Amino acid sequence: MSDSPIARPLETDRPTPFDPPVELRKRPPLSRLAYPDGHLGWVATGYSVTRAILADPRFSTRRELLHQPVGRDRAQERPTPAEPGIFPHMDPPEHTRYRRLLSRHFGPRRVAELTPTIRRCTEQALAGMADGGSPADLVAAFAVPIPALVICELLGVPVEDRQAIQAATAVMNDLDSTPEQAFEAVMSITGTVRRLVAKLRAGPAPSDDGLLAHAVATGDLTDDELTNLGMVLLATGHLPTSSMLSLGTFVLLTEPAQRARLTGDPALAEPAVEELLRYLSILQFDVRRTALIDVEIDGHTIAAGETVVLALPVANRDPERFAGPDTLDLARSATGHLAFGHGVHQCLGQQLARTELRIALTALFERFPDLRLAVPPDEVPTRDRMAVYGVDRLPVAWGPAPAP
């Protein structure tokens, strides 16, 4: 087990497309990590230490304090404090104010209200996939449109703006995008949301019941806050769910026994989603905290100013917390996993995401009972170095196999 800093940024070799990087698995629960910008920080891979750091108010998510563990060298970029409304990069009490305003839009009642919309978006995507015929790219036909449509509906984004938003969020989430590309993408989404907020300020139409229309009506937030909030929700509400849908389908197509359990027993859908979240833990490098003061933890001192990467995919495979962690077992109780984080920044959209995954994956295998990969598994392109792990394309087929 190595406790020394590695010379290069995180290596991303994996035994299978569903496993965390090997280099991270070899590490002790908390170890030193050399960041590409020259910072000597830390990486947490053990379940207990990861959970403890996420719950600890001595660690901050403030953007200006964070170092980046992979991707482009940001040494030349001067990090700035989060603008109003960019609450994931704020600490309490600023962070708490936004979470309180947003919580009712993501609570169980709102998610129950959105369930018919989720079913409609799923049916629409599946009908489009069937019409296009076999083979198809499941990412484009199914995994991207469902969460994108649902989050746009939740916010109240008009249909004509949705495609541009989808394209810009993909660029924004790509760690290998240049700073100029990432900036342009943020500006494009911000422009769309700003126009929408201005339209709503001028007088929401009676049918405007999206989150933004509600927020405008309550008058608690400025236009800048609303625009940035809209941007944050569009960016966070789309890619992780779409990655879970495609990677979740991919793993089920390579594990027929698990898939048969899911399709054979509808009651398994809820635990199955929790287990898929644990097993795949797609937020791989971007959950980070910086110590505000020196913190003694797990036999180490994390000095004030040092950044820790919380390697959720590895923490969720910790054998001290989950027995046989490298086995996908849809019937296990995976509750307590950290795929949605933990503590005050725990995922705002987790109930929505769970419902989307349950409805969409169940409907997919009902509609296409003989769904299969259209290429060998090692030809499916994975997004190894992106903050949100997943696949770029997932070629699938159904119906009679073509004659040899």
> Which candidate, 61, 66, 68, places its Cα nearest to that of 179?
68
Q: Shortest gap between Cβ of 14 and ligand HEM (angstroms)? A: 18
Among 20, 145, 210, 237, binds ligand HEM (CB under 6 A): 237
How many Cα atoms occupy the beta-carbon half-sphere of 315 within 13 Å?
Answer: 31
Nearer to ligand HEM, 29 or 85 (CB): 85
Residue 240 sits in the site that holds ligand HEM (CB under 6 A): yes
Among 33, 297, 315, 353, binds ligand HEM (CB under 6 A): 353
* Close Cβ partners of 321 (under 8 Å, ≥ 6 residues apart): 47, 48, 315, 336
Residue 232 sits in the site that holds ligand HEM (CB under 6 A): yes
Residues 76-135 touching ligand HEM, rule: CB under 6 A, are 87-88, 99
> Which candidate, 329, 330, 325, places its Cα nearest to that of 266?
330
Residue 349 sits in the site that holds ligand HEM (CB under 6 A): yes
Q: Shortest gap between Cβ of 79 and ligand HEM (angstroms)? A: 16
Q: Shortest gap between Cβ of 263 and ligand HEM (angstroms)? A: 21
* Cα 93 off chain centre by: 24
Residue 236 sits in the site that holds ligand HEM (CB under 6 A): yes
Among the listed ranges 136-144, 192-200, 228-236, 320-328, the one in contact with ligand HEM (CB under 6 A) is 228-236
How many other C-beta atoms lie within 10 A of the C-beta of residue 185? 22
Contact 281, 337 (CB under 8 A): yes
- Residue the block writes with tokens 């992106």: 386
Nearer to ligand HEM, 101 or 380 (CB): 101
Contact 238, 148 (CB under 8 A): yes
Among 340, 368, 389, 398, binds ligand HEM (CB under 6 A): 340
Residues 143-162 touching ligand HEM, rule: CB under 6 A, are 151
> Which candidate, 147, 129, 138, places its Cα nearest to that of 367?
129
Residue 283 sits in the site that holds ligand HEM (CB under 6 A): yes
> Which candidate, 18, 100, 162, 113, places its Cα nearest to that of 351?
113
Contact 43, 31 (CB under 8 A): yes
Contact 333, 322 (CB under 8 A): no
Residue 276 sits in the site that holds ligand HEM (CB under 6 A): no
Contact 52, 289 (CB under 8 A): no
Write the binding mask 244 to 263 for ligand HEM: x where contact by CB under 6 A, - elsewhere. Answer: x-------------------
Q: Shortest gap between Cβ of 240 and ligand HEM (angstroms)? A: 3
Query: For binding to ligand HEM (CB under 6 A), which residues are involved?
Result: 61, 87-88, 99, 151, 232-233, 236-237, 240-241, 244, 282-283, 287, 339-341, 345, 347-349, 352-353
